Amino acid sequence: MLPGYPYSIVNFLHYLFFYLLFSLPLTLSYRNTKVINFAHSNFITYGMYTAVFLHGLLGNTSLLAAAAAAFLVGGSMALLNNIAVFRPLERRGASPSMIMIASMGLWIMYNYLLYMLADVAHFFSRKNFVSYSKIAYSDVPELSIAGFTLSQSFVASMLAALGLVAALYLFLEKTRLGRAMRAVSDNPVLAEVSGIPRDTIVNLTWLIAGGVAAVGGAVWTCFSGTITPQSGDAMILQVFTVSFIGGLVSLLRTGLGALAISFIENVGIAALNTYLGVPTSFRPFLTFATLLTILIASPPLGAAGGLPYRFRRRRG
């Protein structure tokens, strides 16, 4: 029997769904646009706050409506980033590091803009938006299977994550547009020469990436205890580590990464807690150790990688 059963297993699946929702768009956006986007956590947080503002200011209790609104907010943010910042920088021939630093600047901007919005909303409604409690939605059922009650957030995140995986598979494998997207990610120059409108594909990628991450954020509002403007940033270590396991290019390996990190963070820490007495607040350190292990043992090469140094003694 696994330690912490059954909660560790339920949480393992639960976080797996969320990591899929957060990390797949990150991998997708990097492999198509070659921009490492530190503002990715903003999409998640803004998705959460779209749901929070709809609930707190307009009294919305439909998760479907909140998710749809979040998709629009996250997607348009990502599109705006690309049109106003990333594309002009790329046109000018700025290095990938410079574009990364610009995304970091955007991250701070969005972060504190959200604090300001929460202040303004507080001024009008007298509700505390800087620390908002979990939202109970009316349109998501609780399921009972074999004596287990699956919570609202479990059902919602499962539907969203499985829907995302299925939709991505069908889109990338079966449709013309999806194949064009894969062509751009494999070789942008060759794709452009073959008549694929690269700019349109990149814009579409940003719309999907920002939108899906924001939907994940909206679903998170019926799971997390409290929602703060830092909630998305608090997950950035896990989300990026999951994508790094996929080398920022492979969607399949990103999925495996979500599986691995979710397992380590839930079952792994439960085991350490039971047998060695490690406190559960140690979770991020476990993820960080995984990140360092990956960077040392099998550094992601290719587009996002550096040089394949070998630390071996020279043979005389």
Partner 1 sequence: MIDVVGFLVSWLTLLGIYSILALTLNFESGVSGVTNFGKVLFYGVGAYTAAALTVYLVLILNGFDVTKTPPYSVEGIVALGQLAGQNPALNLALFALSLVLAFLAAGLLGYLLSYPILRVGPAFVGFTLLSSGELMRIFLQHFEPVGASKGLMSIPGPFAWVPEPRARELAFLGVVLALLALTYVVLDRLVNSPLGRTLRAVREDEVAALCLGKHVPRLKATVLFIGSGFTGVAGALLAYYLTAVNPGMFVPAVTFNVWAMIILGGMGNLRGSLVGAALLTLFDRLLTFLTPQLGITVISPDYVRWFSVGLLIVALLLLRPQGLLPEEPVRTPALEELEVALRGGGSG
Interface with partner 1 by CB under 8 A: which residues? 36, 38, 85, 88-89, 92, 94, 96-98, 100-102, 104-113, 115-116, 119-120, 123, 236-237, 240, 244, 248, 279, 281, 284-285, 288, 291-292, 295-296, 299-300, 304-309
Q: Which two tokens stand for residue 238?
A: 């896990």
How many C-alpha atoms does 150 have within 13 Å on its Cβ side?
Answer: 17
Least distance in angstroms from the C-beta of 210 to partner 1 = 17
Q: Which two tokens stand for residue 149?
A: 């009650």
Nearer to partner 1, 105 or 141 (CB): 105
Nearer to partner 1, 162 or 292 (CB): 292
Q: Residue 49: count other Cβ atoms within 10 Å of its Cβ.
A: 28
Least distance in angstroms from the C-beta of 93 to partner 1 = 10
Least distance in angstroms from the C-beta of 112 to partner 1 = 4
Nearer to partner 1, 60 or 283 (CB): 283
Nearer to partner 1, 101 or 196 (CB): 101
10 close to 17: Cβ distance less than 8 angstroms: no
Nearer to partner 1, 5 or 285 (CB): 285
Q: How far apart are the C-alpha atoms of 106 and 81, rounded to whole Å?
A: 8
Q: How far apart are the C-alpha atoms of 39 and 115, rounded to whole Å?
A: 15
Strands (DSSP E) found in 40-145: 132-133, 143-145
- Which residues share a beta bridge with 306? none
Nearer to partner 1, 276 or 296 (CB): 296
What is the sign, positive or negative, of the torsion defined by CA atoms of 231, 232, 237, 242?
positive
Least distance in angstroms from the C-beta of 146 to partner 1 = 38
Least distance in angstroms from the C-beta of 123 to partner 1 = 5
48 close to 232: Cβ distance less than 8 angstroms: yes
Nearer to partner 1, 164 or 248 (CB): 248
User: Greatest CA span in the chain, whole angstroms?
Assistant: 75
Least distance in angstroms from the C-beta of 200 to partner 1 = 23
Least distance in angstroms from the C-beta of 312 to partner 1 = 13
Which residue, 26, 11, 14, is CA-closest to 251? 26
Which residue, 101, 54, 100, is CA-closest to 73? 54
Which residue, 213, 236, 206, 263, is CA-closest to 14? 263
